[in-house]
Amino acid sequence: MKNIDEVLIRMDEIVAECKSQNSRVGYFAILYRQVTRRIKQGILAEEFEDNPRMEKLDVLFAGRFIDAYNQWKNNQTLTRSWLEAFEASQSSKHLVLQHLFLGINAHINLDLGISAADTVGDEPLLGIQNDFNKINSILAELVDGVKANISTVSPVFGLLIPLAKGRDEMLLNFSIQLARDGAWKYAGEYHAATDKNFQIQDRDNNISNLARKLINPGKFLSFLIKIIGFAEWKSVSKTMDQLDSVAQKVI
């Protein structure tokens, strides 16, 4: 893909494919498509410090998700972080928010740092930091909006937070800001590394471990998730439609 319009065309295709196949990968695809739309609007309005560079970053960043999706569909080798998310999508026992966070975990914690470093190449990484943070701000705004309106697809999710208060649970404490800060630190490590493949493999191992904590959050929270899951919408396509409606209203 050479530009953001080509990214959006492919994202539309993935969303449509997930909807027709009742694939829960579509939950993250819906969310990320809206982020991409918002970034395109920002580029057209010249909101970023370097708008052509932002388009390059967006294409590289989106490309990592799209490549992982294509590899998974074709039974090819892919990063463990994305494999955890895609395999979890085949189960109905996880909450919508878990599926969203699994995608965000792989995309922010692994893909974003790589994409930022690849965007600047041999140039200093610091020059892209402000625009890097803006991508995360857009995603955080969207995720916060979806969480605030999660009752539309998960009517009793709000019960989870007070019941699990005080517990150190990855699912409840997942933070876009912390993910962003970790991704920026990793971008620097990856940018400076001579063996970039090793850097990716090492980071991927760590991030896939986080994914497993999102999937298996402990006995108590898993019990609550099972109860809350009974009240969630069972139709994947209808859930995708509702998420799309919420996402478009938020940003």
| Residues 6 or more apart whose Cβ sits within 8 Å of residue 138 | 35, 38, 39, 42, 251
What pLDDT score does 79 carry? 98
- Look at the alpha carbons of 69, 101, 126, 35 in this order and tell me if their dihedral is positive or negative: positive
Q: What six digits make up the tokens of 225?
A: 């998730």
Q: For 192-206, 208-222, 236-250, which range has the lowest pLDDT when averaged over its residues? A: 208-222
Mean pLDDT across the stretch 15-31? 97
Place 29 in a pLDDT band, splitting at 50, 70 and 90.
very high
pLDDT above 50 (res 168): no
pLDDT above 70 (res 226): yes
pLDDT above 70 (res 169): no
Say how far apart CA 136 and CA 35 lie, in whole Å: 10
- Name residue 101's amino acid: F
- Summarised one tens digit per residue, pLDDT across range 73-97 is 999 999 999 999 999 999 998 988 8
Say how far apart CA 117 and CA 130 lie, in whole Å: 14
- Decide: helix, strand or coil at residue 217: coil
What pLDDT score does 158 carry? 67
Place 162 in a pLDDT band, splitting at 50, 70 and 90.
low
Say which residue, 125 or 213, is predicted with more confidence: 125
Domain spans of the chain, in order of start: 4-250
